[in-house]
Structure 1
């Protein structure tokens, strides 16, 4: 039995049959209207070849890292950097024809898989930046530094791409308020303190990994936070754009896209994860909030009370 405040989604395929029935399976070349805002069940390498060309505005990829990991029965085995490069090349070759000319690509990775992924990415796309985010969670290491960071490679299909920097500003407390002629300079005074909405850098220290009391949390071993996906989606897409995630997992990309008014297509081979995705998409019909994003800005950690007050104003 779960504790009353434990909101973790962890239903079995049998318990989630109603949700699995909402997903689609492809057996032939698909039309866009048949896959739009859908979860596709099956192997991503097979299904990518059945998708229409030139329909993706934003590609978000969170592939299995080059680590031994059990994804509820689907085992990914650690291999050499050379073989992992071949693995990366394989999915890129299949996904590239699906991208629009001005599409943006984000690829998640850890420090070990980051270099092999970058090596392959730069042979196909324009590398724009590398984001590093502080994930906080992780086991301690007795003979090494604890791994508390992950990377996201930011690439584009061409020199023409979407980037809305004003949509992803971060609200931070002003430690040393500076005034000109007695008035705040680039910050505002509020009843909750002094704040500045700053432009984001490529180091993110405001992300919290989903945990048991958060409605978005599932039993997926490597779930990405909706707040992290929201930054990518708001910066690099427009309302109504199509976002593809070929390694969907428990559905964070699709759910966040839906909450932010974008179309989505996700592919996931694990039926249990597909059930969790559809459950979360159903929940998003009634609740479009994204923890850590309020009042049109991203907030620092441990500011929930301030966010709630901002939303009421």
Structure 2
């Protein structure tokens, strides 16, 4: 279960577990065989089969539900396996556990549900029965091999839903800072809705349902783990900032490498998640400990999301400008 030590490249920052980590974090894993109170699960990691624990969780405690379930693919991971089902069977499987999540949601809760192109319709059909479907976010997952007989698949969907028409959404918290390629000017030829910073033009843009500014975690990123389908922290930060307030409760029933919970902690939200794999539950506890010391999120700074590969450019320019002032 625990990764063996490897001779990593000097810049490889992948978070791995050691035997010492297992001894250190195992006592903090939770499981339940009877009803749990809110204080029993707040900021806790549940290492248990979702089907076993759902009936023990308190009702109406969730402000934001993030769901990233197994996609309809043949997969083996850590001794467990998921076999591809027919479309109708997969839809039935989704509904079998999703209906048990509904009582956990507050009346003003929001739900974000991940899928790939093959499962997106099935997910919509289930969500549309029980929630108000608001939008479908498509994000560019720029990773994986190409194909010679088909278009390379580099996108995934996230369905945005709410329990009711009364819900929280903060568009200002998730604006994206983009480079201006064709700037607008007013009648006096002054910049309109954009500003100039060190000869590079930027403007804040409202969030759309197409996300092309994300980087899938890889070996040189400090958030990277050995989990095969890890979501970027920046992706979760967008969702959490848009659809929850500080102190709200974020719940993830398939948390995997724990990105949703780590980002919730970094952004001062309460959290809880369920994960059947002990390895990933322990890995998440290790990441949560790191989050106590470092709350940074790659691509998010000064309360603004930066377009991919532009924040570091500006950071270097600001550092250079600061150094020049010191030398004067």
TM-score by structure 2 length?
0.92
Aligned match of 1:137: 143
Query: 1:62 & 1:125 partners in 2: Cα distance?
Result: 17
Residue number in structure 2 paired with 1:10: 16
Aligned residue among 192, 203, 207 for 1:200: 207
Q: Contact 2:198 / 2:317 at 8 angstroms: preserved in 1?
A: no
The aligned counterpart of 1:46 is 52
Deviates most, 61-70 or 135-144: 135-144
Q: 1:102 aligns with which of 87, 108, 111?
A: 108
Pairing 1:93–2:114 present: no
- Any residues of structure 2 matched to 1:146-157 within 5 Å, and which? 146-157=152-163
Contact preservation (8 Å) 1:246, 1:267: yes
Q: Per-residue displacement from partner, 1:236-272 (whole Å, max 9, x unpaired)?
A: 0000000000001010000000001100011001000
8 A contact 2:21–2:286 mirrored in 1: no
Where does the alignment leave 5 or more consecutive residues of structure 2 unmatched?
1-6, 323-328
**In the alignment, which of 34, 44, 50 is matched to residue 28 of structure 1?**
34
The answer as to 2:228 corresponding to 1:216 is no
In the other structure, the counterpart of 1:278 is 285
Larger radius of gyration between Structure 1 and Structure 2 = 2
Q: Distance in 1 between matches of 2:314 and 2:68?
A: 29
Question: Structure 1, residues 37-88: CA drift from partner, whole Å, max 9, x if none?
Answer: 0110100121111100000000000000001112222211111111111111
SS of residue matched to 1:265: strand
The ranges of structure 1 where at least 4 consecutive aligned residues each deviate by more than 4 angstroms after the TM superposition are 12-15, 309-313
| Contact 1:294-1:311 within 8 A present in 2 as well | no
Q: TM-score, normalised by structure 1?
A: 0.96
Q: What residue ranges of structure 1 are gaps of 5+ in the alignment?
A: none
Decide which of 231, 240, 252 is 1:245's aligned counterpart: 252
Q: How far 1:21 moved relative to its partner?
A: 1.8
What value does the CA root-mean-square deviation take over the aligned residues? 1.6
